[in-house]
Amino acid sequence: VDTAPWWTSAVVYQIYPRSFADSNGDGVGDLNGITSRLDHLERLGVDVIWLSPVYASPHADNGYDISDYRAIDPAFGTLEDFDRLLAETHARGMKLVMDLVVNHTSDEHPWFVESRSSRHNPKRDWYWWRPPREGFEAGRPGAEPTNWESFFSGPTWTLDETTGEYYLHLFAPKQPDLNWENPEVRHAVYEMMRWWLDRGVDGFRMDVINLISKDPALPDGATTGTGGLGDGFPHYGTGPRIHEFLREMHREVFEGRSGELLTVGEMPGVTWEDARLFTDPRRRELDMVFQFEHVSLDHGPGGKFDPRPLDLRDLKASLGRWQTGLGEVGWNSLYWNNHDQPRVVSRFGDDGRYWRESATALATVLHLHRGTPYVYQGEELGMTNAPFAGVHEMRDIESLNHYAEAVAAGNEPESVLRGLRAMGRDNARTPVQWDASPNAGFTTGRPWIAVNPNHTWLNAQAQYDDPNSVFNHYRRLIELRHALPVIARGDFRMLLADEPYLYAYERTLDDDRLLVVANLGGTPQIAALDGDWSAADLLLSNVGEPPVVNGRISLEPWSAHVFLK
Ligand code: ISL
């Protein structure tokens, strides 16, 4: 009997609504736009849609700053539109998972408006309020209660003149952190989650959920940050009560509901040891987590905006460690892309000469690991980074803040721009390229961020009927996961770990052996493997059948092959 959870053989597709499809010509994607494009997802064969936030929001961080958890933002539509999207998704046999952003709210959420109104307001303690540092006058540099640096530049504290106290925001000042120490906060969140589940949604992707438990002593961090600021992560990352909070959430929200729901926690800085605890089914916390190790390997000494080339051996060591670490207990999420990461074909592949081959090779390698694959909108088309002419074409608060800070600190604008062009989040946020028409079929109006000019040849319409397209390669990978238990549940063994251009591994289940072998570089390679693969079935290839003599497989640049025996 197959007792593996349903999501071991499932693939999730992430939609960033603002950039997916615009139904009303205002230049911003919306819910009706998504509903009108569900055929694309059905054709691709994905099982679950994860919707980035569509709640009411002032959009300081594109909806990751929520002012009403039970309302749809008018830019995206209405609750009625939402219900229709949900019904249409279900009618096609797919599930829909919401984004849950509860480390912080918008500063325009009524909870925060009340909280800031006076020191004695009943909701005062729903957020983190602190007086200025001992001996410092409020508002002076250094008066912040801790030295922590925000993810979006500058300090994590903003002074509120009304009461003369500071509030904590790990992200933008318009994203104040909720105080999870307060049980009223936790129960208000659980109630809201139950409200959405009762409405029919199939689970949650939980934004920065490993940051919700802070050390209440709020100690300073080691001063590594810009302008004398410090790293607060050890005091709020995977904090003292995080497992307790997630178990409580599980009890209050998920216990007794259908086993068909999905929970995935986004967890910057999480280790595989922690991830195993979070996803051990006996502990009743989460189904899976998003980790960040493999998307940090190309960060240079100056951090994310100072990238260095990826050494493939580091990538294999990292992903291999997670495969093994969560091999017996726990479960992996597999992703190259999301709305916060540059496009993988530009980042780890070759978006020029070997565009198609590298997009499909990277997809092959990722999808056949043990874990649940996530496809980010446009990834299935091989969408690339955007050719931003300058910062005036960028929209992301993280990029704009970093640019202002770095240039003010005396850095050459051109060199700051280089970092943003390579690593900025807006690379992932240009509109989905549906066809070759002027705005790529995304909108009839003026898009909120420019469409990538390569949509004239890189678009969905051009790929549906091309058997070799990136789209059809993703479709086949998804099909394979659905069809083969060895992909869903087999053991994982990394091969050729020291090879700098080859990515090879074996999956085994009972008598089935699956071999994935790929050349992730621009020169021909030979993979020398143990055992005889010459008689094995070639299940999938992105370039055609490779020459195989026993265990020696010749690999063209960026070729990827999947064998079964
Ligand atoms: O991209 C990042 C900054 O370098 C990440 O650290 C990112 O901020 C982090 O992964 C958390 O992301 C999530 O929470 C943020 C939001 O801006 C991101 O879009 C979201 O995915 C705050 O809600």
The residues spanned by each domain of the chain are 7-105+183-470, 110-168, 490-564
Element (H, E) at 367: helix 355-367
**To which CATH superfamily is domain 490-564 assigned?**
Golgi alpha-mannosidase II (2.60.40.1180)
Q: Which residues contact 457 (CB under 8 A, 6 or more apart)?
A: 436
**How far apart are the C-alpha atoms of 516 and 504, rounded to whole Å?**
5
Does the beta carbon of 205 sit less than 6 angstroms from any atom of ligand 1?
Answer: no
CA dihedral 404, 406, 410, 415 (to 10 degrees): -110
331 lines ligand 1 (CB under 6 A): no
CATH number, span 110-168:
3.90.400.10
Q: Which of these is catalytic: 207, 274, 287, 398?
A: 207
pLDDT in tens, the chain (565 residues): 467 999 999 999 999 999 999 999 999 999 999 999 999 999 999 999 999 999 999 999 999 999 999 999 999 999 999 999 999 999 999 999 999 999 999 999 999 999 999 999 999 999 999 999 999 999 999 999 999 999 999 999 999 999 999 999 999 999 999 999 999 999 999 999 999 999 999 999 999 999 999 999 999 999 976 678 999 999 999 999 999 999 999 999 999 998 899 999 999 999 999 999 999 999 999 999 999 999 999 999 999 999 999 999 999 999 999 999 999 999 999 999 999 999 999 999 999 999 999 999 999 999 999 999 999 999 999 999 999 999 999 999 999 999 999 999 999 999 999 999 999 999 999 999 999 999 999 999 999 999 999 999 999 999 999 999 999 999 999 999 999 999 999 999 999 999 999 999 999 999 999 999 999 999 999 999 999 999 999 999 999 999 999 999 999 999 999 999 9
Exposed e or buried b per residue across 474-498, where buried means at least 16 C-beta atoms within 10 angstroms of its C-beta: bbbbbebbeebebbbebebebbbee
Q: Which residues lie closer than 8 Å to 258 by C-beta, 6 or more apart? A: none
**DSSP track, 411-452:** --HHHHHHHHHHH-GGGGTSPP--SSSTTTTT-SS--SSPPP
Length of the chain: 565
User: 471 CA to middle of ligand 1, Å?
Assistant: 27
Q: Whose CA is nearest to atom 10 of ligand 1?
A: 268
- Residue closest to 553 by CA, chosen among 532, 539, 542: 532
Q: How far is CA 534 from CA 14, 441, 486, 509, 545, in A?
A: 38, 45, 20, 20, 11
Q: What is the C-alpha separation between 399 and 304, in angstroms, rounded?
A: 11
Specify the ligand 1 atom closest to the Cα of 292.
10
CATH class of segment(s) 7-105+183-470? alpha beta
345 contacts: CB under 8 Å, gap ≥ 6: 351, 355, 358, 359, 362, 382, 383, 384
Amino acid at site 23 = S
Cα separation, 445 vs 450, in Å, equals 12
Q: Is the CB of 304 under 6 A from ligand 1?
A: yes
Q: Fill in the amino acid letter for 127.
A: Y
| Phi-psi region at 267: left, alpha or beta (left = phi > 0; alpha = psi -120 to 50) | beta
Please, what sign has the CA dihedral across residues 198, 202, 205, 211? positive
Ligand 1 centroid, distance to 428 Cα (angstroms): 13
Is the distance from the beta carbon of residue 151 to the nearest atom of ligand 1 less than 6 Å? yes
**What single-letter amino acid sits at 27?**
G
* Residues whose CB falls within 8 Å of the CB of residue 482, separated by 6 or more in sequence, listed in order: 9, 45
Q: Which ligand 1 atom is the nearest neighbour of the CA of 104?
A: 23
For a mutational test of ligand 1's pocket, the pick from 57, 103, 151, i.e. the residue with the most ligand atoms closer than 8 A to its C-beta, is 151
ipTM score of complex? 0.96
Q: Report the DSSP pairing between strands 333-334 and 372-376.
A: parallel
State both tokens at 441: 């079929």
Asked if 333 and 291 touch (Cβ cutoff 8 Å), the reply is yes
Please report, to the nearest 10 degrees, the dihedral formed by the alpha carbons of residues 212, 213, 219, 222 taken in order.
-60
Common-topology check for domains 7-105+183-470 and 110-168: no
Report the candidate in 488, 487, 506 with the shortest Cα–Cα distance to residue 497. Answer: 506
Please identify, by atom number, the ligand 1 atom nearest to the C-alpha of residue 398. Answer: 3
In terms of Cα–Cα distance, which of 386, 406, 502 is closest to 452? 386
Is the C-alpha dihedral spanning 297, 299, 303, 308 positive or negative? positive
Ligand 1 neighbour 208 (Cβ under 6 A)? yes
The CA-based angle 199-204-210, given to 5 degrees, is: 145
207 is catalytic: yes
